[in-house]
Amino acid sequence: MKNKVLLLILMLCNLLHSQINIDLKEENTSKWLLNERQKLNYADKYFSNQEYLFARPIYDSLYKKHKSNVYIGYLLGTCSVYDAKFQNVSESLIKAAESIKTKLPDYDYYLGKALLANEKCNEAIAQFEKYKMNPLNKDVKNEVEHQIAICKSAISLNNKSSVAKITNIGPPVNTAGSEYTPVFPSNESFMVFTYRGEKSMGGKQILPNRVDMKNGIYFEDVMISHKNNFNNWTEPIPITAINTNGHDAVVHISHDGQRLFTYRNIGVGSGDIYVSKLDGYNWGIPEKVKGINSNFWEGSVCLSPDEKTIYFSSDRQGGLGGRDIYFAQLLADGSWGNVKNLGPEINTSFDEDAPFIHADGKTLFFASTGHNTIGGYDVFRSELKLGKWTTPYNVGKPVNTAQDDKFYIVSSDGERGYYSTEKKDGKGLQDIYMVEPGLFGKPTSLVLVTGNVKYDNAPVKAEIFVRSKLNRKDFSGIFNSNSITGGYLVNLPSGNEYEIIYKYLNTTITKAISTAKIDSFAKIEIDAELFSVEYLRMNNTQIDSSAFQPDDLRPIGLTYEELLAKYGETVIDSLDYTVQIGAYKIFENFNYSKLIGLPKTLRRTLPDNITRFTLGSYTTLNETNAILSKAKKNGIKDAFVIAIYKGEKYYFQELLNQGILK
């Protein structure tokens, strides 16, 4: 991954002077105390290396003692351009040095950068144009032209902001260190992210030509945080199976949460992409991904929902410029092949990175310093139409800023987005932020299928085959349930008919799911139970193909409407209601397609060997009736309300006769 400080050492900016004017330094600091001059020398070395975040606090401490020294103020202002927390003071500090600007060759450039950082784009353009009047080499001139283009993009996007709320997710995830590249499975049950700070396993990185070791750069670690019962993130812990003493950064997790992709660099070469598989609650030792790693940099990946295509960023030769996004197909041996550049619609002569394919399979988010960026990396969005990605568009403010805004991911329902950036209210250098809604304008349309797989009543790691029935090329894939919990997760795009085949050993069952009429997000829970012949024989389970209709309610002297009117809001201790939607001797015959958009389905097999399916548990009859109406609207004609009092099923007549309902 990119080192945050090295992010500031822009390749083209290296062509600028960024050198200390020795004569100006002597003129302005010759009478300082020895210890002050020593501190200044340290800061100047950082400044010359363009390590502005290390230089800034030293200049700041010196400026507080010498506030009339416009030279030190200029150096402090230049460093502040690159720190989101202090950009608001950068302009005034640089402008204060106008009297000595003839001795500061890059004065106009850095003032332009300060004006851009403070969203004064027209003034920034004028400053960059002034800087262009100097004799500049081709590369520097191109860099200045790029800054002007950024200003013009910011102006054009000024009235095209997204309607979104951005929230710092705060502690315990965000700290005084850096947190970035958040990833999570489609159900958002946990979040994995990259951390750089005091708790890093490898400590501080030793870099060539360091000024000192005190301000070294921490190595990256992979951390995980779970959601508790209150929907809050828990204290993050390191994933010890993944972290080393080098750089280990998370870059992607599969939509079902079973495969975690990381970037690893132990100090040799440019680093590679690895993958770790979840076994129960434990992550396996990372293995190098086959087919996409090269002798060049590969630092970001993501999978399509069917896990047959992988997208990744690389600076390999043959690209359109800088870092490009590529894609590859899954081969029969499990490796990736047929690598292709995503093309000029997505890639530019600048850098493209951090691709993310939404669970709907047709929405791409990525970060770019090209296109119509408004500064640094911006988040862009493209749609897959007729097999081609559309011209990407900048998602605009408030998501994008003059900083590096990257690693944007969206929940499967489209309600929440997460990404990392620097803001003035941040806890550290980079923080993780939540964006609501995550998908702007256009809603997502898919069905999130979750549940558990059991074999002889015990959770197992089963193979789960998903096939499109209308168009088999549309979506198909092979997934696995968790070996300890039996839990699984699959995203099904809308507009199709599917069959899901659950297989463990030599036993399979098939469920049919229809998303043909789905035009928004829906969630459905399907549990799959497989049995061995021995288990069925031992438990004397009756098997036939007959489905039992719901029991008829006994007459109660009131119409159902009158019952609702009289007792609809009545709450009685130990009395709950549910909606029964089916009773089967072979529960595999149950049709799950009609459950889309309904509450979680509960299944219970009674001593009569009949499995009954019900929807939720409610304390009032009105709540239950609302679910009943939804069930019938979904086509479950025989659905009806039943009452449960102290764990036993009651007819309404019995509730009245026994005085439970008064």
What integer pLDDT is reported at residue 3 of this predicted model?
A: 43
Domain boundary among 436, 470, 497: 436
Give the tens place of pLDDT for each residue, 619-637: 999 999 999 988 888 888 8
Rg (CA), the chain: 30
Q: Is 348 in the same domain as 334?
A: yes
Rounded to an integer, the average pLDDT of 170-192 is 94
Rounded to an integer, the average pLDDT of 161-187 is 91
Give the tens place of pLDDT for each residue, 445-475: 889 999 999 999 999 999 999 988 876 556 7
- Helix axes of 34-48 and 52-65: crossing angle, nearest 10 degrees: 150
Domain boundary among 134, 156, 178: 156
Give the tens place of pLDDT for each residue, 198-226: 999 988 876 655 555 566 788 999 999 99
Q: Is 127 in the same domain as 192?
A: no
What integer pLDDT is reported at residue 553 of this predicted model?
A: 41
Tell me which of 640 and 357 has the higher pLDDT.
357
Of the candidates 318, 171, 142, 319, the one whose C-alpha atom is nearest the C-alpha of residue 234 is: 171
Q: Is 419 in the same domain as 537?
A: no
Is pLDDT of 541 > 60? Answer: no
Q: Is 13 in the same domain as 149?
A: yes
Q: Is 23 in the same domain as 133?
A: yes
Q: Is 266 in the same domain as 371?
A: yes
Question: What percent of the chain stands above pLDDT 70?
Answer: 89
Q: How confident is the model at residue 355 (pLDDT cuts 50, 70, 90)?
A: very high
Q: How confident is the model at residue 54 (pLDDT cuts 50, 70, 90)?
A: confident
Q: For residue 412, what are the contacts with CB-CB under 8 A and spacing of at least 6?
A: 186, 187, 255, 358, 359, 444, 446, 448, 491, 521
Is pLDDT of 554 > 50? Answer: no
Q: For residue 488, what are the contacts with CB-CB under 8 A and spacing of at least 6?
A: 256, 450, 451, 452, 453, 462, 464, 479, 480, 481, 482
Task: Kindly compute the dihedral angle of the four CA atoms of residues 366, 371, 375, 378, in this order, to the nearest 10 degrees.
Answer: -10
SS3 of residue 154 by DSSP: helix
Q: How much is the pTM?
A: 0.80
Q: Read off φ and ψ for residue 535, nearest 5 degrees.
A: -65, -45
Domain boundary among 94, 123, 156: 156
Task: Please give the residue range of the domain that contains residue 72.
Answer: 4-156
What integer pLDDT is reported at residue 649 of this predicted model?
A: 80
Q: Is 498 in the same domain as 398?
A: no
User: For the domain that residue 340 is a member of, what is the CATH number?
Assistant: 2.120.10.30
Q: Is 205 in the same domain as 68?
A: no
Q: How confident is the model at residue 382 (pLDDT cuts 50, 70, 90)?
A: very high
Q: Report the mean per-residue pLDDT for the chain.
A: 86
What integer pLDDT is reported at residue 544 of this predicted model?
A: 37
Q: How confident is the model at residue 661 (pLDDT cuts 50, 70, 90)?
A: confident
Q: Is 333 in the same domain as 262?
A: yes
Classify residue 138 by burial, with Cβ atoms within 10 Å: 0-12, 13-18, 19+: exposed
Q: Is 291 in the same domain as 427?
A: yes
Of the candidates 571, 5, 479, 555, the one whose C-alpha atom is nearest the C-alpha of residue 256 is: 479
Strands of 469-623, DSSP E = 476-480, 487-493, 497-504, 507-514, 521-525, 528-530, 547-548, 575-584, 601-605, 611-618
User: For the domain that residue 455 is a member of, what is the CATH number?
Assistant: 2.60.40.10
Q: What's the one-letter identity of residue 597? A: G
User: For the domain that residue 114 is a member of, what is the CATH number?
Assistant: 1.25.40.10
Q: Is 314 in the same domain as 431?
A: yes
Q: Total domain count for the chain?
A: 4
Q: Is 377 in the same domain as 364?
A: yes
What integer pLDDT is reported at residue 607 of this predicted model?
A: 61
Q: What is the Cα–Cα distance from 372 to 71, expressed in whole angstroms?
A: 35
Strands of 592-659, DSSP E = 601-605, 611-618, 640-645, 648-650
